[in-house]
Structure 1
Amino acid sequence: MHEEQKPDLKQSLDHMETLAEQQGSQEGLSSWDCVVRSRQQGRPGAKAYIDLICDSFMELHGDRLYGDDPAMIGGIGMVEGKAITFIGNRKGANFRENVLCNYGMSNPEGYRKALRLAKQAEKFGRPIVCFIDTPGAYPGLGAEERGIGEAIAQNLKVFSTLKTPILVFIIGEGGSGGALGIGVGDKLYMLEHAVYSVITPEGFASILLRDPSKAKEAAEAMKMTARHLKEFSVIHDIIPDRNAEETAALMKQTILRDLENLCSKPAQHLVRYRIKKIRGIGEVSGGKEWWQPLLGVFSKTESLR
């Protein structure tokens, strides 16, 4: 069709670029828009950011128990002469890699690999940087048989008491226990178009609203965007979501700044304040009626008897 009609797409592309520039900040986007952007095919993943941030990177494989999970990447990277352990969810950059990496949904061996690398980092005094980008842990029969719930729970327990600095970046989807499995740290950051929630909007709509078509309303009610989570003090700060090189440069700057501060603190202090931060999540004070939007959504649905 292109050869026959030879359409001129420049005007349309210029218009789309103008709209993208106008809506580039999160203020101009709805919660559902952020969900869509966080899932966008071709969005830079953990491996892309690791390659841009590190001067060199050596990937490590296997959990020493069952096998290697390609949906979880981990290894040691050098950043301006400093050795850092990097761990992250990996979705893949194309359809073939998506299938190989199970669309970022890790099996138990992925979380056990992350745990092995985290303990290794603690042993050798290396800080840890985690990149989260997953709709959730894999809920398949094999994963359940090999103990996916226990693997995530063990990570939560151990990561909360590791005696080494941990930085966490949510770079896309941060879904359910799959995100929490590598999401415990001293500092938690989100890209401005990333999302972080206990369940997907589709799951929320199906289970609580009994209507999968209400995913957009569910996304608004769930307060899952970086802007909302910054207001609730769940995350420390928001990193602008630009092209891969600029975003990686901002993350690298944040990593070097935070590690300079955190590495100077005694390990016992790190653990104490990390646990204090974890326990502080979910406290409501000051009369913020965050639950009001939920009432509006429920009022538009059928009875949940």
Structure 2
Amino acid sequence: MNKLKIAIQKSGRLFEDSIKLLKDCGIFYNDGRDQLKVECETFPMEIYFLRNSDIPQYVEDGVVDIAIVGENLLIEKQKDIETVQKLGFSKCRVSLAVPKNVDTDDISFFQNRKIATSYPNTLRNFLQENGIQAEIHLISGSVEIAPNMGLADGICDIVSSGSTLFKNGLRETRTILKSEAVIAKNKNLSSEKEHLLEKFLFRVKAVLKAKNTKYILMNVPNDKIAQVSDILPVLKSPTVIPLADEGWSSIHSVIEEKRFWEVIDELKQAGAQDILIIPIDKMVI
């Protein structure tokens, strides 16, 4: 039987979130120590634990079928592979940064200067698009120390919170691109592998939908049911259950978590009481 081969980062910021996603999708494996390949017990899948920078090449070559990888890496490596699903975690950005004593944010600062980076292709494309001539100094790690060592006038690097820049006396001036974890695939999958990928993506989408959605319950006077229902952004229509107290019902629905605080006052003013928000484990539409 064919198995879907997936690559994930063997260590680093993407590893734990990738493993959690697989487990949330009901995909489990024997956690052997220091294994580079494991077979899953509950889904026809093999997991390859690879060095992050090598993953795009393995996907393009067909050594693995799919991968969980950062968009920023795909853009930098410029491989002929396809992004099929954004995952919403490991969000970051690739940005330019300069020493704190530089008093301008204008990218013209970098004209004819040196920039240290681990993302030469991404940086080169940005500079060309903006008509900036600069010397790119490639560094594989610890890019932030380059200005302090006199190797560069500024840097282009991945940024999450910005704390590393601050600790090294730098400040962010321009975001080149925003990134998050994605699922990418080889463009030449067999029909059987495509079918397995569809089944996997079905699970992934159910998990992602549940993370952003909550189950909402509230007690509402019967004469306010229509008004409350109009406020709720629901899939089809809310569930209405009569209560023991005459003239009252319980309304059950779902709501995007980010929308809850937008509508809570409207719900209360419309007569809703005893409002409960409950996490959803999976959501199949």
TM range (shorter): under 0.3
TM-score, normalising length: structure 1 = 0.24
Point out the structure with the larger helix share: 1
Larger radius of gyration: 2
Structure number with greater CO (CA < 8 Å, separation at least 6) is 2
TM-score, normalising length: structure 2 = 0.25
